[in-house]
Structure 1
Amino acid sequence: MWLFAQLPIRFQWWLGKIAGLLAWRLAKSRRHITEVNIRLCFPELSEAEQTELVRKAFIANGIGLMELGIAWFRDPEKLTGITQVHGLEHFEKAMEDGHGVLLLGGHYSTLDLGGSLVTEFIDADVMQRDHNNPLTNAVMTRARGRRYGTVLSSKDLRGLFRSLKKNHAVWYATDQDYGRKDIVFAPFFGIPTGTITATSRIADRSKCRVVPFSHFRREDKPGYDIYFHPALENFPSGDDLDDATRINAIIEQEIRKAPDQYLWMHRRFKTRPSKDDPGFYKKQKKKR
């Protein structure tokens, strides 16, 4: 990965495309999950359009793997010339409140590189879910530690509140399936989806502002766009379901800017409203 990171970005994108297409062909389990997610979230597309979106999603995430090397082993500062930031004034205004900012992100294929590029324009801490592989986790944590002020474990709520109390910004994402604990089922692409309520608890206790943001790769030529949106008003509302619905709608809106650049390989709809509800990801046996 270090070696690939030294190559010109256009060549890295080409290698990423090849890697993505190979995964699309060979990673049948992940392709099945992606196919299910795309079918559920984009029923308005024809079968051929859904198939093409699945293919493009693997390509986008293959390129994202190459960009991971840039984020971990190179200085993303060299990419600021091809990066445009939109709405930075929204973030700056939110910081004026003095209670910190939760940067409400999502799992886009530009995850690490986008986060690294963000820190070229603002100071921020980050919450991360530790990787199961100890070596990968060590490399990831060291790399993020060079870019962010503080790297916090997703379980370190005390550390999160300390950062917010210091009026820091903290990168934070809610768009994965964490099981049945402390969730509500809020619509996401029209599907009741297990969504954590921690965002409301954190905002209520810390009085921090919640600022949605996203980052995408340009499709026509090498370059990136970072978007900051106005801080959420009247948040939390006191109703966990309303808050979760609002957050999911924002993330969905961002995904629709570049649908192929989302992490569709994750079983986002694994937890169903009822334990008796059939799972979406179980493969149907073919009849002989």
Structure 2
Amino acid sequence: MGTPGGLGLRPGRGGVGDPAGRARAAGPGGPDRTPVERRRSARRSAVSRPETWRRRLRRRWKNRPGLVPWLLAAPQRLFFRLLRLLPDRAVLAVGDRLGRLAWLVPRRRELGRRHLARALPCRTAGERDRILRRSCGHLGRAAAEAMVLWPKHEPEWFRGRIAVAPQARELLAAWRGRGAIVIQAHLGSIEATSTLLALEGLRPATPMRLPRNHYLARDLLRARNRGAAEVLPRQGAVKRMLRHLGGGGSLVLTFDQNAHHKPVFVPWFGHPAATERTPAALALRTGAPVLAAWTVRRPTGGAAWDFHLALVRDRQPPATADEAAVTRLTASFHRVLEEIVLRHPEQYLWIHDRYRSRPPSP
């Protein structure tokens, strides 16, 4: 139960269990890379981008403290600090207005339109555009929640503002302290989901890719930890996830975005999408139960949410996490998340490039 290979989680380059430099030494067309990686590497080799001063600066100060990264982060940090002085309803309103600016970005607008056309073909183009505009507003609200409301308030403040559905209450009591995998999409408030799970004693932990700026990453970690959810660094995350599950904690995995390293391709609204294999591989190898969670904002404009939870897969005997089993289980998870997203399409992240990585040619 110790190594990613036993889980069916194929380690990425430089990750846990990866022989040092094996994939890099293989070269762009080496046997240790998937077709997706080989094509991406070949494109990078064929079209080398010039080394700009901005790129050199980012690389020089990546994840490091110092005057330069502090100055780069200062405007954003000051903006969020000023927002914390406003009433919560005003903070969310500002976030909504800023989020709607994403509608003005042509590439993001077209991505959202294409994704909504696939997911809601029976709606008119005008209806889908209205959903997309509201979705952009909810994206801004989500950012305001993460960077303003969560650092501003203690976890207990949220208890009275997150209503728990009766079925969810029963499942929370049934799986408290027993180790569960909680899957979710980028829908509603993922911050509120982790906070509610923490308040109910499920000890949530989630792997996260932090910002490259040291000070922005530190602020985000403080906000997450204040919500009583543990953040697991990506490096060595598999071992940490296994340890956390084995200790009776819950893992919160948001896996509806384009995956880069060793993905499985399963349908997402009818089209193959590169997807993280971790949730299915962990569920198969450990036999842990899988729950689907979603926390949606109430249409009041204030800080109020409704929390829902559903049992997707009960506890099972541990099984081999081979490619076919992981693919089948991941596809079944997608079907559950699709149904949830279609209940609240205006609160889903439609402008993400979900189909950026394409499956290998037959």
The two structures have a TM-score, normalised by structure 2, of 0.68
Give the distance between the partners of 1:197 and 1:221, measured in 2 at CA. Answer: 36
Of the candidates 327, 330, 346, which is equivalent to residue 241 of structure 1?
327
Q: How does 1:1-288 map to 2 (within 5 A)?
A: 1-25=80-104, 27-68=105-146, 69-86=148-165, 87-95=168-176, 98=178, 100-122=179-201, 123-148=203-228, 150-155=230-235, 156-179=237-260, 181=262, 183-222=263-302, 223-233=304-314, 239-274=325-360
Shift of residue 121, structure 1, vs aligned partner: 2.7
SS of 1:23's partner is helix
Change (3 A) 1:237 1:191: farther
Q: 1:247 to 1:94 in 2, by over 3 A?
A: same
C-alpha distance in 2 between matches for 1:134 and 1:34: 31
Does the C-alpha gap of structure 1 residues 117 and 92 become closer, same or farther in structure 2, counting only changes over 3 Å?
Answer: closer
**Structure 2 residue aligned with 1:284:** none
1:144-189 Cα offsets, whole Å, 9 max, x none, are 12333532123411111111111111211221111261x3322221
Q: Distance in 1 between matches of 2:191 and 2:327?
A: 30
Gaps of 5+ in 1: 277-288
Distance in 2, Cα, partners of 1:42 & 1:132? 36
Q: How many corresponding residue pairs?
A: 272
- Contact 1:106-1:173 at 8 Å conserved across structures: yes
- In structure 2, what is the Cα distance between the partners aligned to 1:146 and 1:230? 28
Identical amino acids, percent of aligned pairs: 22
> How big is the alpha-carbon RMSD for the aligned residues of Structure 1 and Structure 2?
2.4
Give the equivalent residue in structure 1 for 2:74.
none
> Which structure 2 segments of 5+ residues have no match?
1-79
Alpha carbons 2:155, 2:226 under 8 Å: kept: no
Deviations 1:218-256 (A, max 9, x none): 114532011111251376886223211110011111112
In 1, the alpha carbon distance for the partners of 2:169 and 2:126 equals: 38
